[in-house]
Amino acid sequence: MSESDDRDRTAEHGWFKSIWFSAVVGFGLFFLLSGAVVLLSSPSTEQPIAFNHRKHVVDNEMACSDCHQFYEREAFSGLPDAGTCSFCHLDEPQGESAEEEKLAKLLESGAPLEWKPLFRQPPHVFYSHRRHAAVAQIECSVCHGSIGESEAPPSRVRALDMDDCLGCHESQGARAQCTTCHR
């Protein structure tokens, strides 16, 4: 097709047809794009305190269970409440960061510490931390990654999906009936 043909066509059929066509394309593209953004976007998670795992786990050699107190006894793992942080941070500052000052103020006010869970199975899944961590002796980092070395909370994590679980179950020969996990 030559340019002159285009121009001819345009001149023949009216300029509005070409506008309509591109308008429709634009409409369709952006309609779907915006819809997808609305439906699929998950809000980025902002934690009350920008917790530095590295300082606690690597530098101070704390164990995961010092703050996540339930994974050896219960199905859920738990997030530290204000009482847990108060053990060390209420009376005197442990460091010099602004975040710690923020924490101290929060602890003094007596308000609850409301962490937003990053790793959360959908409610129709039964996952037992006790079974995996205490009985099967799987390291926390196998599922949670190297979060112990992070210096700030990630705003997003790659959600674990069924394939991740099944992959490990199959390779380890663990039971993988629907009813093992779904409820």
Partner 1 sequence: MKLNRRRFLGFTVGATAGTALGVPVSQTLSDLVASMDPPVYPPRGPEDSVLSVCRLCPGGCGVRARRVGGRIVKLEGNPLHPVNGGRLCPKGQAALQSLYHPDRVPGPLRRTGPRGLLESFEPSSWEQALNEIGERLKLLREQERPESLIMMRGDARGTSSRLAERFMKAFGSPNDVLLHRGDEAASQALYLGQGVRTMPAYDLQSAEYVLCLGGALLEAWSSPVHTMRAYGEFRQGRPGRRGKLVHVEPRLSITAAAADEWIAVRPGTEGILGLGVAGVLIAENLYDREFGGQRTLGLDDFRDREGNFREGLRTVLARDYSLEGVSAETGVPINTILRIAREFAASRSPLAVGPRKGPLVSGSLFDHLVVQWLNALVGNIDRPGGVLVAEDVPLPPWPELPSDPVADAGRMRSRFDGVNGEEPPHHSYPERLADVLLAEYPYPVEVLMVLESDPAFLCATPERFARALENIPLVVSFASLPDDTALLADWILPEAHFLEAWELDTTPPGVPFPLASLATPAVETPLHDVRPVAQVFLDLAQRIGGTVASSFPWPDLQTLIRSDVEGLYRARRGALMGTAFDEAWVQMMERAGWWAPGYRSVDELWRGMEETGGWWDPFYDHENWRRVIQTPSARHEFRTDILQALTAETVARPMNTEDNENTEGPVDHSLALVLFEPLPIAGGRGAELPFLQGILDPGHEEGWETWAEIHPETARILGLSDRDFVRVESADGSIVARARVTSRVVPDVVAVPMGLGRRGGGRWARGTGANPLRLLSPARDPLGGPPVTGATRVRLTLVAGAEARPLPEGRV
Partner 2 sequence: MARWAMVIDLDRCTACQACVVACQVENNVPPTGVGEAEKGRAISWLRVVPFVDEEAHGTRPPLRLTPLPCQHCDNPPCTKVCPVQATSIDDEGLVAQIYPRCIGCRYCTTACPYTVREFNWKRPEWPEPMEQGLSPDVSIRPKGVVEKCTFCHHRLQRARDRARAENRELQEGEYMPACVETCPSGAMAFGDWDDPRSEVSRLSQSPRAFHLMEELGTEPKVIYLSKGEWGGEV
Task: Verify binding: residue 183, partner 1, rule CB under 8 A.
Answer: no
Residue 63 CB contacts under 8 Å (≥ 6 apart), including other chains: none
In whole angstroms, give the CA distance from residue 182 to residue 148: 29
**Nearest of 136, 139, 142, 144 to residue 173 by alpha carbon:** 136
Query: What are the tokens at 111?
Result: 């308000």
Task: Verify binding: residue 18, partner 1, rule CB under 8 A.
Answer: yes
Task: Verify binding: residue 32, partner 1, rule CB under 8 A.
Answer: yes
Restricted to residues 92-151, the positions that interact with partner 2 (CB under 8 A) are 122-124, 126, 128, 130-131, 134-135
How far apart are CB 116 and partner 2 at their closest, in Å? 18
In whole angstroms, give the CA distance from residue 34 to residue 42: 14
CB atoms within 10 A of CB 61: 8
**Interface with partner 1 by CB under 8 A: which residues?**
3, 6, 15, 18-36, 38-39, 70, 74-76, 120, 122-123
Residues that bind partner 2 (CB under 8 A): 73, 75, 122-124, 126, 128, 130-131, 134-135, 175, 177-180, 182-183
